[in-house]
């Protein structure tokens, strides 16, 4: 890094998209090596010009704002640094309608080793309601002894070779334009990054180091991997890179950079979170994951007969739309996918490996087969089996198996459904096949005169 002992503040206009009337400022920071007793903290910021209040003067329009910086020592509680900075930009009146872009800057501090609280504030000079503030906890630490390490990552909107050391963003032969928004994609299709490797020539076990670049998405999937090798001849190395991200879908990502000795197990890594907005790119990773989950599920290996039987089991809890969708399917694969998604949509605890809803439903099915089978039907095919599978175990069951003037019947009561409902079943055939005669549940068979159906003919 440059030998800078005092705070630096740079301002320049960099074209970026902006929403008119929206006050916004973005901050970011990175830590670098400075000396054996201090580190160097760079703070990056950008103001959206279109969100600042416009002051109309004689022949121009002016926008003004303030930056407030406070650094408080946590390790050294007596360390306090506060400063207010003002910036100003002027436009001709005829150009003011198209004010856009961002006022971007860099602030640099040399700080003794220790932990600090960093408070950064920004406000509009004219409208006091337009303001933002952020707090960060920052640790400035020494380099490890005789072991290579990495600085923080600075994300940038562009990096190019430069020779002008007086340039606003000159750094170690590079022009590094920061991107404090950490947003890339449609308007910034290339992710630029800058970092520094230290102690590269110490504790040599191999003459080369392996440098790896990785990008990981929010699902912990590697979406970009690349590696290269560098010789360990100098004490420090500057790493400035560019990665095309125009094919990656919108979302949150993490850039991970690592260096490793090719002989020993020594390795150092650093990571930086960033965001991509690519509305025209379709995210296929979810579908790929769904495909993988499906092929590892029980449904992918089912025979045609098993598929049909599995749907018969679940038709009791199908909605009208789900039933109609099933009836429109013509291929076994489509039906397997239907069943897979049917149960997945009902998994009320998706974080666990087991579908608890499905487990409970099949538990009810097995109970129905064991307790409600009749002479010609399996338990799940009977009315009692259907009701038990659909609504679960009743709160109460009243059984009347040996009445003189009526056929056997049962009354099931559910206290926790619709404020309390009943189901009445009667054995009309004498073969233990109890038919649903009446229910107060909405959508079920209702017959207030159900008793006449079970009355004995001998009465």
The DSSP result for 176-219, as a single string, is EEE-TT-EEESS--EEEEEEEEESTTSS-SSSEEEEEEEEEETT
Give the per-residue pLDDT at 21. 44
Cα separation, 231 vs 259, in Å, equals 12
8-state DSSP, 340? H
Section 420-430 average pLDDT? 93
> Quick one: pLDDT at residue 291?
60
pLDDT score, position 299 = 85
CA angle, residues 329, 333, 336, in degrees to nearest 5: 85
**Residue 419 · residue 444 · CB < 8 Å:** no
User: What was the pLDDT predicted at 267?
Assistant: 85
What is the DSSP code (8-state) at residue 448?
T
More confident of the two residues 111 and 1: 111
How many whole angstroms separate alpha carbon 407 and alpha carbon 386? 21
pLDDT at 6 over 60: no
**pLDDT by residue (tens digit) across 330-358?**
888 889 989 988 998 888 887 777 888 99
Across 221-247, average pLDDT: 91
Structure letter (DSSP) for residue 455: B
Domains and CATH numbers, the chain: 1-142 (2.60.40.3880), 175-282 (2.60.40.2550), 284-345 (no CATH), 371-459 (no CATH)
The pLDDT of residue 427 is above 50: yes
Residue 238, both tokens: 């500057």
pLDDT for position 179: 95
What span, in angstroms and rounded, lies between the C-alpha atoms of 293 and 411? 43
Asked whether the predicted pLDDT for residue 263 surpasses 50, the reply is: yes
| Strand, helix or coil for residue 435 | strand
Per residue in 12-58, pLDDT (tens digit) is 333 333 333 467 789 999 999 999 999 999 999 988 887 888 888 88
Render pLDDT for 74-119 as a digit per residue (tens, 0 to 9): 999 999 999 999 888 888 877 666 677 778 889 999 999 999 999 9
**Structure token pair of residue 423:** 């189901």
- pLDDT band at residue 288, thresholds of 50, 70 and 90? low
Q: Find out whether 155 and 177 touch, Cβ atoms under 8 Å.
A: no
Contact 1, 32 (CB under 8 A): yes
**Percent composition of the chain: helix, strand, coil (DSSP 3-state, to 5):** 20, 40, 40
pLDDT band at 300 (very low <50, low <70, confident <90, very high): confident
pTM of the shown model: 0.60
DSSP bridge pairs for 400: 409
Indicate the pairing of strand 183-185 with strand 267-277. parallel
Among 99-103, 318-322, 392-396, the range of highest mean pLDDT: 392-396
Instruction: Flag whether pLDDT at 2 surpasses 80.
Output: no
- Reported in sequence order, the residue ranges of 245-392 that DSSP labels E, i.e. its strands, are 251-261, 267-277
Q: What is the pLDDT of residue 4?
A: 32
Tokens of 421: 């409902």
Q: What is the pLDDT of residue 408?
A: 94
Residue 138: pLDDT band by 50, 70, 90 thresholds?
very high
Instruction: State the pLDDT at residue 289.
Output: 57
Predicted pLDDT of residue 286:
57
Alpha-carbon distance of 379 to 368, in angstroms, equals: 5
Q: Where are the beta strands (DSSP E) in 74-153?
A: 80-92, 102-112, 114-124, 131-140, 149-150
Q: What is the pLDDT of residue 18?
A: 32
């Amino acid at each position: 890094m440059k030998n800078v002992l005092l705070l630096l503040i740079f301002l320049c206009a960099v074209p970026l998209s902006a929403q008119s009337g929206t006050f916004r400022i973005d901050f970011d920071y990175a830590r670098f090596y400075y000396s054996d007793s201090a580190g160097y903290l760079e703070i990056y910021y950008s103001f959206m010009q279109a969100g600042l209040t416009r002051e109309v003067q004689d022949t121009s329009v002016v926008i003004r704002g303030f930056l407030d910086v406070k650094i408080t020592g946590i390790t050294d509680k007596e360390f306090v640094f506060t400063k207010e900075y003002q910036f100003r930009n002027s436009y001709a009146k005829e150009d003011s309608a198209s004010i856009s872009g961002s006022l971007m800057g860099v602030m640099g501090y040399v700080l003794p080793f220790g932990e600090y609280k960093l408070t950064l504030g920004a406000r509009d000079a004219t409208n006091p309601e337009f303001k933002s503030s952020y707090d960060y906890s920052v640790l400035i630490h020494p380099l490890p002894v005789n072991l290579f390490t990495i600085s923080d990552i600075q994300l940038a909107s562009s990096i190019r070779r430069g020779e002008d050391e007086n340039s606003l963003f000159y750094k170690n032969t590079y022009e590094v334009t920061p991107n404090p928004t950490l947003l890339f994609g449609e308007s910034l299709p290339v992710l630029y990054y800058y970092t520094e490797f230290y102690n590269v020539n110490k504790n040599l076990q191999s003459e080369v180091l392996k440098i790896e670049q990785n990008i990981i998405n929010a699902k912990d999937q590697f979406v970009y991997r690349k590696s290269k090798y560098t010789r360990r001849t100098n004490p420090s190395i500057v790493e400035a890179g560019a990665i095309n991200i125009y094919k990656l879908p919108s979302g949150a990502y993490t850039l991970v950079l690592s260096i490793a000795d090719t002989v020993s197990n020594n390795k150092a890594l650093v990571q930086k979170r960033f965001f991509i907005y690519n509305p025209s790119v379709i995210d296929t990773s979810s579908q790929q994951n769904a495909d993988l989950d499906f092929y590892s599920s029980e449904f992918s290996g089912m025979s045609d007969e098993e598929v049909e039987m599995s749907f018969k089991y679940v038709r009791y809890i199908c909605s009208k739309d789900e039933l109609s969708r099933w009836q429109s399917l013509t291929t076994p694969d489509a039906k397997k996918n239907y069943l897979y998604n049917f149960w997945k949509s009902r998994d009320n605890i998706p974080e666990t490996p087991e579908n608890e809803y499905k487990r409970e439903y099949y538990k009810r099915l097995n109970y129905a087969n064991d307790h409600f089978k009749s002479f010609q039907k399996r338990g799940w095919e009977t009315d009692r089996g259907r009701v038990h599978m659909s609504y679960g175990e009743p709160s109460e069951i009243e059984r009347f198996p040996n009445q003189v003037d009526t056929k056997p019947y049962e009354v099931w009561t559910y206290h926790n459904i619709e404020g309390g409902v009943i189901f009445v079943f009667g054995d009309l055939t004498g073969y233990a096949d109890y038919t649903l005669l009446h229910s107060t549940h909405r959508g079920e068979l209702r017959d207030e005169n159900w008793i006449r159906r079970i009355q004995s003919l001998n009465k």
